[in-house]
Amino acid sequence: MANHGKSYGLSAELDKKREEKRDSKQEEEVLDWIEAVIKQSLPRDQPYEDILADGIVLCDLMSAIKPGSIKKINRTTRMPFKLMENIGSFLEAARVYGVPSCDLFQTVDLFEKKNISQVTQCLFALGRTCQAHPDYDGPTLGPKLSEENRRQFTEEQLSAGKNVIGLQAGYNKGASQAGMSFGKARKILD
């Protein structure tokens, strides 16, 4: 894929921080989950980012989760814009499926191997989103999404709460900072 050579200065520091965010255990979990969903083994002798970089595995994953969500997968070409199209198709299908946009990654994050930890985060978000769909009965990845827990209070409970003075209301059982002074007073001279 794209190799821009060694980076220096701020770019090198940012690359190092992004690399430190990676978690090999999570990456293994993601690969295990993908294999279980698509019912195919992946080439584990390759690095994680290389397995996913062409977008074919991601498109197969999304097609297995929601059949028909990916219209076309470019399998035979090595042309960069076609491979990036695969990644873009996966991202659009994931967005439509319900993955929050804040969890999606940019195409270049994967294709140019810029931010692989964001790719892993996106796949965990997809795994959580699958659990929220009743029609999905495949393997799961990550914790289940939380559900709304709406509470109903009676008028009596609401009015009882009005009589409570919280500490953030400025009252702390008579204690105050009155009379306390630290350091010298600031003097403004003309």
CA distance 8 to 4: 11
- Within-domain flag for 2: no
- Within-domain flag for 125: yes
Q: What is the pLDDT of residues 59-85, one digit of tens each?
A: 999 999 999 999 999 998 889 999 999
pLDDT at 182: 67
pLDDT at 46: 94
- Within-domain flag for 20: yes
- Within-domain flag for 96: yes
- Within-domain flag for 51: yes
> Average pLDDT of 129-144?
89
Tell me, what DSSP letter sits at residue 168? G
- Within-domain flag for 6: no
- Within-domain flag for 91: yes
pTM: 0.71
CA distance 138 to 131: 9
- Within-domain flag for 161: no
Which CATH number do you get for residue 55? Answer: 1.10.418.10
Give the domain range for residue 37. Answer: 12-132
| Domains: count for the chain | 1
Q: For residue 143, is pLDDT > 50?
A: yes
SS3 7: coil
Instruction: Write out the DSSP string of 43-75.
Output: -TTS-HHHHHTTSHHHHHHHHHHSTTS-S----
**Are the C-beta atoms of residues 10 and 89 closer than 8 Å to each other?**
no
pLDDT at 84: 94
Q: For residue 170, is pLDDT > 60?
A: no
